[in-house]
Amino acid sequence: MNTHLHKSPFLSLAVAALAFSCMITTAPPPEAATERSSDHDILSYFESALNSLRYPPLKLKNHSSAVQVAKKSAADEIARIARGSDFVKWIKFVRRAIHENPELAFEEHETSRLVRRELDGLDVGYRFPLAKTGIRAMIGTGKAPFVALRADMDALPIQEAVEWEHKSKNAGKMHACGHDAHVAMLMGAARILKARENHLKGTVILLFQPAEEAGNGAKRMIEEGALEDVEAIFAMHVSHLLQTSVIGSRSGPLLAGCGFFKAIITGQQITSGNSHHSSDLVLAASAAVISLQGIVSRESNPLDSQVVSVTFVDSRDDPNVSPTSIAFGGTLRAFSTASFQRLVKRIEEVIVAQAKVYKCSATVDFFKDSDSIYPPMVNNDLMYEHVKRVSTDLGGPANFQVVEPVMGGEDFSFYSEVVPAAFFYIGIKNKTLGSVHSAHSPHFMIDEDALTVGAATHAAIAERYLSERAL
Ligand SMILES: *[C@@H]1O[C@H](CO)[C@@H](O)[C@H](O)[C@H]1NC(C)=O
Ligand SMILES: *[C@@H]1O[C@H](CO)[C@@H](O)[C@H](O)[C@H]1NC(C)=O
């Protein structure tokens, strides 16, 4: 999960101190104003790429109490397999091997090789490569319905600060977001599901995906057929906010859509003695930065969380000559596609209009093609309920917690735009062990006791999904 939220009030304030207060007073566009000019059509590129893959909404059928009992015994059997001592040793081995050899986005060659070797050992068939290092494995009847589980494989450019036997052997790279555990847990699910293959009433697709932290690996996996025939998808992420093995999620918006912008303001060059003849870029940029603050504070529904942060201002530093161009930019986040689109539109309007006030011109780039933008993660209600029911059956009511949405982002949201999806957390917090650090910290570590529970949860979610579809 991409957790960093850029906030740099210092630069923005420094610039603000120089500026006139010159707020744009245009009323916010009416909510129905979804007419999109091609300039503002920033989300269309994931929509159009994915539209052809969209499936009709599906319904999970209700089930009788006799079936409920059968499901409960399946959950017990899955939990029993995951607790076996061989299984526990093996899943830790997989996780530690990956932890020692972290690989960055689209470079997960050894990780991918290890996964394939283990799949071969389990006699699980797969397609490779997707998105360079990605794998699409398949367990079950080979026939519909198809349900998918996804794990991300890439590490972060962080130097591990945890001293332990299986510390990262790759300088400057670390599994500081738990993707090593995600891969191990999905491998564990593969092993459980293979052992129960004759119980599967359809097909489970296991997606091992590259480049979640950078590069939108999910998007590329989808383009290369990851979701072929798939009608629902689930993914799990470790969380230091939940006690070891506790599952957490919520219905609806869970993680924000995220994007970046960079504005360039240009005008005529001047020397300070002749300023009345020319445009003042510093004032124009300052006014624009100030006006951007109003988009969230004055135009947005306060109950619909959004962020617009200017995180840098860049110019030359000659005090006698004003610059011919000034660049500034930052990040935007929102929990719905409509709000995200509105932010994009208003950021551009505000900057261009403020530049004009000072006889300058402006362009705003939203990096549509750079894979640094992704949609909000919104959990499908039915899929969320499914996760909740399965984890409660596995570990009792105390095993599940409703969590708050956060402003972090996840490229799993690309899958959720195509098929009904649920993203959920598994706790790895254990104060005795010291696994209390947030993802992306060099001190990040996990309580490995969560691994078997994660594997069992994945397996039970998939098996039961297929059983309920078959009713
Ligand atoms: C589903 O089953 C439960 C328990 O048998 C029942 O209470 C509920 O009304 C059913 N829901 C639907 C939509 O049939
Ligand atoms: C935390 O880890 C310790 C050491 O492995 C273990 O004894 C304890 O049961 C764990 N606590 C929880 C809440 O899982």
- Nearest alpha-carbon partner for 142 in 72, 68, 212, 201: 201
Q: How far is it between the farthest Cα atoms of the chain?
A: 88
Locate the domains of the chain by residue range.
Answer: 9-35+257-365, 58-254+395-470
Going from the Cα of 111 to the center of ligand 2, the distance in angstroms, rounded, reads 28
pLDDT of res. 178: 97
pLDDT of res. 32: 37
Distance from CA of residue 444 to its chain's centroid? 18
Long-range contacts of residues 27-35, Cβ cutoff 8 Å, at least 24 apart: 28/299, 28/346, 29/342, 29/345, 29/346, 31/338, 34/338, 34/341
Q: What is the pLDDT of residues 380-390, one digit of tens each?
A: 999 999 999 99
Quote the pTM value. Answer: 0.79
State the average pLDDT for the chain: 85
Going from the Cα of 471 to the center of ligand 1, the distance in angstroms, rounded, reads 14
pLDDT of res. 38: 39
Of ligand 2's atoms, which has the minimum distance to the CA of residue 430? 1
Q: What is the pLDDT of residues 275-292, one digit of tens each?
A: 555 568 999 999 999 999
pLDDT of res. 403: 97
* Candidate of 88, 399, 431, 447 to mutate for ligand 2, largest count of ligand atoms within 8 Å of Cβ: 447
Q: Find out if CATH 3.30.70.420 is the number for domain 9-35+257-365.
A: no
Percent of the chain scoring above 90 in pLDDT: 68
Percent of the chain scoring above 70 in pLDDT: 82
Distance from CA of residue 354 to its chain's centroid? 33
> How confident is the model over 337-347, as a mean pLDDT?
92
Number of helices (H) and strands (E) in the chain: give both, helices first.
12, 14
Which helix (H) or strand (E) element contains residue 377?
A: strand 377-379
Q: What is the pLDDT of residues 353-377, one digit of tens each?
A: 999 999 999 999 998 776 778 889 9
Mark residue 407 as left, alpha or beta (left: phi above 0; alpha: psi -120 to 50; beta: remaining): alpha
Q: Which residues line ligand 2 (CB under 6 A)?
A: 243-244, 430, 432-433, 447, 449
> Given 3.50.50.60, 3.90.380.10, 3.40.630.10, 3.30.360.10, which CATH number is that of 58-254+395-470?
3.40.630.10
Is pLDDT larger for residue 196 or for residue 68?
196
